[in-house]
Amino acid sequence: MINLLLFPVLIPFLFAAILLFFPKKVKAQRITVMIGLLLALTSTIALLIKVKSDGVQTLTLGSWAPPFGITMVSDMLSVLLVTSSLIIALFVVWYSFTSIGEDREKAFYYPAIMFMLTGVNGAFTTGDIFNMFVFFEVLLMSSYVLIVLGGEKGQLRESIKYILVNIVSSSLFVITVGYLYSVVGTLNMADISIKLAEIGQAGIITVIAVLFLIVFGIKGAIFPLFFWLPGSYAAPPMPILTLFGALLTKVGVYAIIRTYTLFFTTDIGFTHELLMIISIITIIAGCIGALAYFDVKQIIIYNIVIAVGVILFGASIMNENGMLGSMFYLIHDILIKGALFLLIGIVIKITGTSDLRKMGGLMKRYPTLAWSYLVAAFGLAGIPPLSGFLGKLLIVQGGIEDGHIWQSIFILASSLVVLLSVIRIFIYAFWGEEKVVQEISPKTYRHLLAPTICLVVITVLYGVGSEFVVPFMKDATTVLLDPAVYTDAVFKGVK
Amino acid sequence: MKTNDLIIQTTTKVVFFIIFLFSIHIFFAGHYAPGGGFVGGLLMSSAIILLLLAFDLKTVKEMLPVNYTVVTAIGLLTSLATAAGSIFFNVPFFTHVYSDFNLPLLGVTSIHTAMFFDTGVYLVVVGVTMTIIQMIGGDE
């Protein structure tokens, strides 16, 4: 089965096309989408095992020789990201059954999710820079649909901003790829890597590196370019916000890590230093936002920005521990953000507001919700046995090894702010005296809680069983730190 | 007041078929000459739009009782199936094959699977364009 690495991209696409046939039959839609997600997840796990045992998987479409056809590459990093994106999608879809409402389900909600997964998984798997642009567009178009679906006033307003920003960044992406193509004359990422290493240190390449940082920085929400994110993400309903918050910015982060480890390795002094400075400022901006708001959605949304900064800081160090930590933190952040958004989604559903000051005393009536929120919050902050701990520890360790003492201390300090911001939600919403709550039927509550608890349990297992995860992360790090592994896998001795 | 559209309606009845045949021609010519699924699909939808201009939305719906969302979905599935056929022969995805067939009427014809992929593109382009036009034009 040489086509196995395409299945996580093709299966969502196939099911999205099938779902277009019967938009009004809600029950059939739900069953089909679940079958599709489970199939895709199974194939991804098979792929994960294959990549673990046989190394990087590559396939050049249409039986063409590597630099001429579109190459798809599945290394450990991309297959881990694909797996976690499918896990998140599975739980979000399960959660949507009770929360999104039939009107939206009848308006191509599930096909849009499946098309978005096609784009996300494709962007993670592709080995061709222009193909990556196409998959970015696939996921962005579906996200435009999802952000505006339902047509409420806020959604319409924010979707215009979101679409404008993304169209600008997409055209910048095309321009940047144009520059790169005129310099190296190829679009295959492995081939670009080899050619750029031959050219060595040239001014234009550093310019292209910074342009890529701007392009992916807009998608991935780094410091001066995250301005669109808080407003746009707060507009759509909770399951859509969860998908966006857990997946979309991570695609930008993945693209930055991929280009900065594979392409631009010749002038690290400038480009990676810039990346480091920007990631530190990103953390500061995120911290300010996370403390400033009394709106639960905004607090978690600014925590996305903090996490993006932490991951990119780890990647910019370019040593083994830093990169390993980044990989850990990246997967952890996808899972924990999914869990947190689903949890506060339930809180908002119960209280009927997203304003912290109007909530209180949920602990008495909803103890399970409260305790799982506390576990997720501790996981986010990185309390030892939970999932956020090891990633941040390794990033800090890598930073100190490389002589970035102050930056590493700063990362540790930012954890305190993260903890403070999420514990504030806990104190305001769960402690204190009970305030007016909306009546929510026990059945709805249970149906919303089930997928959420499952996701929280997965994050806990990810933290507790990190010993088991380490070999996978080590494989991912090897490919990132040594581009030759990637290029050799693509060309398989052709060059 | 009822306007008289006799000239445009009669012309449309003739011109529609000319555009339609031209779109089919462009579609089949795509492999050796400029053209292909995308332009062919756009020409086909422009022919239907001409019908929409000459008649009204309801009449055209009666003439061509097609759900264009389904057309898009069929197009997507056609393209995917053509490209995915290679999976069953364990060759890389998107590997195309061609062969000569002795067809009745046409004689010996070379048929390439890329044509079936283009058929999918054609259907998607027609489906999407017509969905947009109908959505904006209709006021339900």
Q: Which amino acid is at A268?
A: I
Interface contact A20-B69, CB threshold 8 A: yes
pLDDT surpassing 60 at residue A141: yes
User: What secondary structure letter does DSSP report for A20?
Assistant: T
Residue A306 clears pLDDT 60, i.e. is over it? yes
What is the per-residue pLDDT for A163?
94
Please, are residues A222 and A282 in contact by the beta-carbon 8 Å criterion?
yes
Residue A384 has pLDDT above 90, yes or no: no
Tell me if B84 and A61 make a contact (CB, 8 A cut-off). Answer: no
Tell me how many degrees the CA angle B67-B22-B120 measures, rounded to the nearest 5. 45
Which of A3, A20, A61 has its CB closest to that of B73? A20
Residues of A in contact with B79 (CB under 8 A): none
Q: Give the best residue of A19, A63, A72 to mutate against chain B (max B CB count within 10 A).
A: A63
Contact A17 B80 (CB under 8 A): yes
Q: How far is CA A176 from the centre of its chain?
A: 23
Count other C-beta atoms under 10 Å from residue B41's C-beta.
26
Which residues span the domain enclosing A307? 289-464
- A18, closest residue in chain B (CA to CA): B73
Measure B125 CA to nearest chain A CA, in Å.
Answer: 15
Check pLDDT > 70 for residue A462.
yes
Give CA angle at A85 (A355, A305), nearest 5°.
45
> Is B76 in contact with A6 (Cβ distance < 8 A)?
no
Backbone angles phi, psi at B44, to 5 degrees: -60, -45
The answer to whether position A17 is within a domain reads: no
Closest CA to A88 of A418, A473, A456: A456
Residue B106 neighbours by CB under 8 Å, 6+ apart: none
Whether A20 sits inside 8 A of B76 (CB atoms) is yes
Name the 3-class secondary structure at A295.
Answer: strand
- Are B105 and A18 in contact, with CB atoms under 8 Å apart? no
Report whether pLDDT(A142) > 90: yes
Q: pLDDT value at position A435?
A: 77
Amino acid at B108: V
Residue A82: which of A490, A479, A476, A478 has the closest Cα?
A476
Q: In this prediction, what percent of chain A has a pLDDT beyond 90?
A: 65
CB-nearest partner of A17 from B73, B86, B90? B73
CA distance B2 to chain A (A): 37
What whole-number distance in Å separates Cα of residue B129 and Cα of residue B43?
11
Task: Name the residue in chain A with its Cα closest to that of B87.
Answer: A3
Task: Determine contact, residues A337/A400, Cβ cutoff 8 Å.
Answer: no
- Is pLDDT of A388 > 90? no
Q: Chain A closest CA to B73's CA: distance in Å?
A: 5
Proportion of chain A in helix, strand, coil states, percent, rounded to 5: 80, 5, 15
DSSP-derived secondary structure letter, B32: T
A333 has which bridge partners? none
Residue A50's φ and ψ, nearest 5 degrees, are: -65, -45
Give the orientation angle of helix A466-481 with respect to helix A483-491, to 10 degrees: 80
Whether the complex's predicted ipTM is more than 0.85 is answered with: yes
Q: Which of B70, B90, B93 faces A61 most closely, judged by CB atoms?
A: B93
CB-based contacts of A468: which residues, under 8 Å, 6+ apart? none
Separation between Cα atoms, residue A188 and residue A198, nearest integer Å: 15
Going by the DSSP 8-state scheme, the letter that residue B64 receives in this structure is S
Question: In A, which residues are within 8 Å of B87 by CB distance?
Answer: 3
**Mean predicted confidence (pLDDT) in A280-294:** 92
Of A221, A362, A386, nearest to A301 by C-alpha is: A221
Dist. CA A136–CA A6, nearest whole Å = 17
C-alpha A225/C-alpha B129 separation (Å) is 34
Q: Which of A2, A25, A490 to mutate to test the interface with B (most CBs of B within 10 A)?
A: A2
- pLDDT on residue A493: 54
- Interchain contact, B94 vs A61, CB within 8 Å: yes
Contacts of A62 in chain B (CB under 8 A): 92-96
Q: Which pLDDT belongs to residue B2?
A: 62
In a domain, A478, yes or no: no
Mean pLDDT for chain A overall = 91
A46 close to B (CB below 8 A): no
**Amino acid of residue A73:** V
Separation in Å, CA of B71 to nearest CA in chain A? 9
Decide if A318 is inside a domain.
Answer: yes
Q: Could you give the CA distance from residue A324 to residue A319 in angstroms, rounded to a whole number? A: 9
A476 domain residue, yes or no: no
User: Per-residue confidence at A439, pLDDT binned at 50, 70, 90?
Assistant: confident
pLDDT score of A65: 86
Tokens describing residue A126: 């592709």
| Nearest Cα residue to A261 out of A313, A221, A222, A315 | A315
Mutation test of the interface with chain B: which of A60, A61, A72, A108, choosing the one with the most B Cβ atoms within 10 A? A61
B134 torsion bin: left (phi>0), alpha (psi -120 to 50), beta (else): alpha
- Mean pLDDT calculated for residue range A125-153: 93
Nearest chain B residue (CA) to A111: B73
- Write the pLDDT tens digit of every residue in A318-350: 888 999 999 999 999 999 999 999 999 999 988
Give the integer Cα–Cα distance in Å for A274 and A302: 22
Question: Residues A60, A127: contact at Cβ < 8 Å?
Answer: no
Which residues 51-70 in chain A show a CB within 8 A of chain B?
A: 59-63
| Residues A2 and A76: beta-carbon distance below 8 Å | no
CA distance B36 to chain A (A): 19
Residues of chain B in Cβ contact (below 8 Å) with chain A: 69-70, 72-73, 76-77, 80, 84, 86-87, 90-96
| Residue A427 sits at the chain B interface (C-beta within 8 Å) | no
Q: pLDDT band at A305, cuts 50/70/90?
A: very high
Residue B39: predicted pLDDT: 94
- In chain A, residues with a C-beta closer than 8 Å to the C-beta of B97 are none
| CB contact (8 A) between residue B90 and residue A6 | no
Chain B partners of A59 at a C-beta cutoff of 8 Å? 92-93
DSSP per-residue letters across B67-115: -HHHHHHHHHHHHHHHHHHHHHTTS-TT---EEEEEETTTEEEEEETHH
Contact A449, A346 (CB under 8 A): yes
Per-residue pLDDT of chain B (140 residues; tens, 9 = 90+): 567 788 999 999 999 999 999 999 999 988 889 988 999 999 999 999 999 989 888 888 898 898 999 999 999 999 999 988 888 888 888 888 888 888 888 888 888 888 899 999 999 999 999 999 988 887 65
Mean pLDDT within A385-400: 90
Taking CA–CA distances from B67, the nearest residue in chain A reads A21
A491 half-sphere exposure, CB direction, 13 A CA radius:
16
**Residue A49 resides in a domain:** no
In a domain, A267, yes or no: no
Please list every residue in chain B whose beta carbon sits closer than 8 Å to the beta carbon of residue A21: 70, 73
Neighbours of A493 (CB within 10 A): 5
Digit-coded pLDDT (tens) for A406-438: 989 999 999 999 999 999 999 988 888 887 677
Is A127 within 8 Å of A72 (Cβ atoms)?
Answer: yes
Which of B70, B80, B92 is facing A2, going by the closest CB pair? B92
Residue A314 domain-assigned (yes or no):
yes
Instruction: Give the number of domains in chain A.
Output: 1
pLDDT tens profile A96-108: 999 888 888 898 9
- Compute the distance between CA of residue A29 and CA of residue A190 in angstroms, rounded to an integer: 40
- In A, minimum Cα distance to B70 occurs at A21
Is A147 a residue whose pLDDT tops 70? Answer: yes
The residue ranking higher by pLDDT, A280 or B4, is: A280
Does some domain include residue A451?
A: yes
What span, in angstroms and rounded, lies between the C-alpha atoms of A90 and A458?
A: 13
The answer to whether A356 and A294 have CB atoms below 8 angstroms apart is yes
**Total-model pTM:** 0.94
